[in-house]
Structure 1
């Protein structure tokens, strides 16, 4: 197997042959998916960094990787010896990729990238920099493919249908709603490139990306027609029949790039600039009028319908009961039998399977013991898997895909003696989680406005955590679902007004490199509260019912109000889950939900 420096040398030879001075390699596939199939892990191939977010830039004498705070520790370790330098996004002293290019580019030089894996807004930003510096853009070259000799093939796994009893709405009604939004925007063609939007619309799912039940596909929607671009070998005759009943016309997957060239100037095309890739955008004739906006599908699916909400609560109840049984098992068996990071995660999934209607994990499990937990998105491998000892803490950030919906839950468990510092850090994270989970606010605010409730306990102590506080959750789709979120910074396309029916995670954390990491994550349902002379109020309802480990709580750090929030939450945990536990489990849970 070649080394990263050897791969970089091969890439630079191809760059020289193509007259390219700077070559950009993002994380995405052709659809701007956050997580991608093995075929699309070009950035991993060329840098060695395996995190879910990051963009590499390679020049003839330099290599750099931009990623966010979740991955600073992981990237720092994985880039050692590769010659690729870490660029810490949003940190002082680190320019963005566009700023870096603007500083370094010389007149006449060329920026290159595969336009299919770069979004429209990113590509136009690079093009603007190139124009400003009197440089060129070359977006029709996949140089990684030319040097990746054993590149995995694209997925050929079959698609499957999600019945309306889970989806809550027919595909025909969803298509009608989309066309209504097109008409409001004055568009008569909608180019849709996001698999989770398409899967949500058509009530189908696939297995083209590990953990995420997505079907790689494109769609072109008009007031009369729905054109689906997909490898139809993945579709059963039954699915094809249902699609035909909807008026869906099937086309070969890659034909969309030629078909958009035929859109005439008398049409108005709706595009999501964060999702449509730059190559597809560039193939639409320049004279065609375009409406750039968030796709209607994304706006619709982030607000769960009543059937979805009831199903999601069932999935959360199943996962909560599984977690309680896992927590009990873990505390009673650590140090008595061999348990590792991986085997602990596997055991949790065993408890989940016992709950029924389990499909598969909803994302790659994070099971991290001791100092591994300080790496925010650490995922154990056979090489890094360590045995748990009856001391310290285990962080598990895992999720399940049930037919009733997807879950995303993080808990940090005490396995034995821990330091006072660990207790204090854990208590601070618990206060942060509860403070956000008990938020009440007026309608019209975004997650940025209430994120400070989670960060204030940290900020008052001149501390912080370097990741978002929460994200929307897809229904058997992407576990990170835009645009719902809690975050301290406004990010266009990933910040929305909080609407009744949104499901958003609440997951503050704190990490001490080389020692420990703590994160506590609940899913919250956005609900309407009372309406009075001051307006429509909203509140957040926790739909995850698992104790915060009282073995790590320092009550002396908590105010009376904070203790009451914890006690109220633990009473809710017991009341909701105890009917599904046996007597021994109930007695154990009473101890871990006792009032402090």
Structure 2
């Protein structure tokens, strides 16, 4: 099937004189996850991971993806004729290096300019400006091949009440306009769905598990133009927007709207989220400031109302996770449980809370060697039945009206090897060490990552991903600009100074291909610690509360301070979660939160 699609794509390329065609994993807004309509890269390659770029030439094709997906991609690309390029690995060409090698004088490079960001598009323009290589961005070639392509979402939007968001739309607009004035901008084009959701307190269901609305906003110093499918807006939203002076326009009208921008305007936009076609449609005599959206940092630093709600939703999430662990531990070997049925049980427990309206991403439920694939997705064909042996890794989260959660636990279902206990305890030690960090204001995740990775590096083990990422508020589960990573990865944009109010995950892991995978993940709020002279110290508050499976822990590998932290953490878990459990669950929880 994939080879047939590639053949048809190449025929279309030949007809249009195209030598190489780029197919990224993106929608018109550079979202990390995309709706079904936008899964063109998956359609042409068969690779289902969330991140990756396919390049097709008339002779060959390649997929570029990162370390989270190496194992999965190798499996899914079998017999596709598409070569895997492991991003970041030594000696592996980047997309740009590959194109520079294969494109010849007179060739044409093409892509759909709506799914490539402006920065990338202009990068190719600049690269080939002094070479005889043409850039074409008008063609959506996959649309011509995809006969049963899903339609764009028509789901309704809803307003997020100020009692959850903590700030009104008007207050947020005032903050954005203050930054615009500071930068001498008269107009701001906002194309990131997450930033629009935060700014306008609007949420939707246009991307699975990410409550956003397909839209673009243009903010002037006295008006807002909102480009969206108006059928998605209920009367409450329209009334609120009218009150503030937000004018609703058709979703696709934005491309013609920007053509009419007058030359005396100064436009602020972020070239990593505004798509290339939109950027190219702005008249060349208009001044452009290409800089991060002001909303980017505003939404990353949670306000006190958001933080109060986030803490509340983590108790709800912890109840579901604890009940799930009880169910799993007491039923393994007694009833049939599979990777999928375990995932379904956890979703049922989450959704039993009225505030949980969705998952925050598809649950990763990986047993034994499946857990070595960081973003494994069980299918009816691939799923394992769980036995009283080995380990089950469950990475999951919920979308609540009070916040977005992300938690991973690795459960011991029976006998494991001493090496696996060493790996499990080392992952736990790394998670604890980062949780306990005291650091000076001005530090970035880069400065602290070694705390989590250190116990594993001591064993000669690394994991091919960051240690943690920011989390949105009733929004995307992966949010910049905060994160933990040992080196700068520019496209991830997660290496900022850690500010008070930022929420970041803490999730070191071990992934042994063909054997096992282990990850333990909590969320942290960055807080001010004591000030000593001129030195402002910072620290973390752990806000995830669910048992860490003591059956995998060997205390002999831990130091005293790590054991004290774990015992104190489990006491908090018991105190916070036990009031919501039945008698049998409470008695069980006493055992799994006991002091070691």
Report the TM-score when normalising by structure 1: 0.98
Residue 141 in 1 paired to residue 144 in 2? Answer: no
- Per-residue CA deviations over 1:64-113 (Å, capped at 9, x if unaligned) read 00000000000000000000010011110101111111222212111100
Structure 2 equivalent of residue 468 of structure 1: 466
- Per-residue CA deviations over 1:533-585 (Å, capped at 9, x if unaligned) read 24111101110011211100112211222222222222222232233333332
Take 2:130 and 2:409, find their aligned partners in 1: how far apart are those partners?
A: 49
Q: Structure 2 matches for 1:375-394, cutoff 5 A? A: 375-394=373-392
Aligned pair partner of 1:446 in 444, 447, 472: 444
* SS in structure 1 of the partner of residue 499 of structure 2: coil
- Per-residue CA deviations over 1:478-507 (Å, capped at 9, x if unaligned) read 111111111112234332111111111111
Q: CA deviation at 1:380?
A: 1.2
Q: CA deviation at 1:184?
A: 1.1
Q: Structure 2 matches for 1:92-103, cutoff 5 A? A: 92-103=90-101
- Per-residue CA deviations over 1:434-460 (Å, capped at 9, x if unaligned) read 111111111112111111211111222
Q: Structure 2 matches for 1:161-240, cutoff 5 A? A: 161-240=159-238
Take 2:98 and 2:131, find their aligned partners in 1: how far apart are those partners?
A: 12
Structure 2 segments unaligned to the other structure (5+ residues): none
Structure 2 equivalent of residue 538 of structure 1: 538
Q: Structure 2 matches for 1:292-311, cutoff 5 A? A: 292-311=290-309
Take 1:519 and 1:415, find their aligned partners in 2: how far apart are those partners?
A: 15
Q: Structure 2 matches for 1:359-398, cutoff 5 A? A: 359-398=357-396
Structure 1 equivalent of residue 102 of structure 2: 104
Take 2:148 and 2:449, find their aligned partners in 1: how far apart are those partners?
A: 44
Take 1:574 and 1:262, find their aligned partners in 2: how far apart are those partners?
A: 61
Count of residues paired in the alignment? 594
Q: CA deviation at 1:379?
A: 1.3
Is contact 1:111-1:130 (8 Å) kept?
no
Q: CA deviation at 1:407?
A: 0.7
Q: Structure 2 matches for 1:331-350, cutoff 5 A? A: 331-350=329-348
Residue 71 in 1 paired to residue 79 in 2? Answer: no
Is contact 1:206-1:213 (8 Å) kept?
yes
Aligned pair partner of 2:150 in 152, 157, 162: 152
Q: CA deviation at 1:589?
A: 1.6
Take 1:230 and 1:364, find their aligned partners in 2: how far apart are those partners?
A: 26
* SS in structure 2 of the partner of residue 476 of structure 1: coil
Take 1:360 and 1:56, find their aligned partners in 2: how far apart are those partners?
A: 30
Aligned pair partner of 2:245 in 247, 252, 255: 247
My pick for the range that moved more, 210-219 or 565-574, is 565-574
Take 1:420 and 1:13, find their aligned partners in 2: how far apart are those partners?
A: 56
Is contact 1:396-1:412 (8 Å) kept?
yes
| Two-structure CA RMSD over aligned residues (Å) | 1.2
Q: CA deviation at 1:371?
A: 1.1
Is contact 1:396-1:410 (8 Å) kept?
yes
* SS in structure 2 of the partner of residue 304 of structure 1: coil
Structure 2 equivalent of residue 30 of structure 1: 28
Take 1:529 and 1:159, find their aligned partners in 2: how far apart are those partners?
A: 40
Is contact 1:106-1:133 (8 Å) kept?
no
Take 1:223 and 1:379, find their aligned partners in 2: how far apart are those partners?
A: 46
Q: Which runs of structure 1 show a deviation greater than 6 angstroms over 4 or more consecutive aligned residues? A: none
- Per-residue CA deviations over 1:234-283 (Å, capped at 9, x if unaligned) read 11122111111110001110111111111122111111121111111111
Q: CA deviation at 1:209?
A: 0.8
Structure 2 equivalent of residue 59 of structure 1: 57
Is contact 1:98-1:129 (8 Å) kept?
no
Q: CA deviation at 1:525?
A: 0.5
Take 2:182 and 2:578, find their aligned partners in 1: how far apart are those partners?
A: 49
Q: CA deviation at 1:166?
A: 0.7
Residue 411 in 1 paired to residue 409 in 2? Answer: yes
Structure 1 segments unaligned to the other structure (5+ residues): none
Q: CA deviation at 1:401?
A: 1.1
Is contact 1:504-1:523 (8 Å) kept?
yes
Structure 1 equivalent of residue 514 of structure 2: 514
Q: Structure 2 matches for 1:546-561, cutoff 5 A? A: 546-561=546-561
Take 1:135 and 1:197, find their aligned partners in 2: how far apart are those partners?
A: 36
- Per-residue CA deviations over 1:152-187 (Å, capped at 9, x if unaligned) read 111111111111111111111111111111111111
Take 2:485 and 2:326, find their aligned partners in 1: how far apart are those partners?
A: 33
Structure 2 equivalent of residue 505 of structure 1: 505
Q: CA deviation at 1:132?
A: 4.5
Is contact 2:408-2:520 (8 Å) kept?
yes
Structure 2 equivalent of residue 590 of structure 1: 590
Aligned pair partner of 1:264 in 262, 265, 284: 262
Take 1:320 and 1:160, find their aligned partners in 2: how far apart are those partners?
A: 26
Describe the shift of the 1:122–1:170 C-alpha distance in structure 2 as closer, same or farther (beyond 3 A).
same
- Per-residue CA deviations over 1:313-368 (Å, capped at 9, x if unaligned) read 11101111111111111011011011111111111122223333121111111111
Is contact 2:112-2:140 (8 Å) kept?
yes
Take 2:140 and 2:189, find their aligned partners in 1: how far apart are those partners?
A: 23
Structure 2 equivalent of residue 6 of structure 1: 4
Take 2:460 and 2:533, find their aligned partners in 1: how far apart are those partners?
A: 37
Structure 2 equivalent of residue 47 of structure 1: 45
Take 1:16 and 1:466, find their aligned partners in 2: how far apart are those partners?
A: 38
Q: CA deviation at 1:586?
A: 2.5
Take 2:15 and 2:510, find their aligned partners in 1: how far apart are those partners?
A: 47
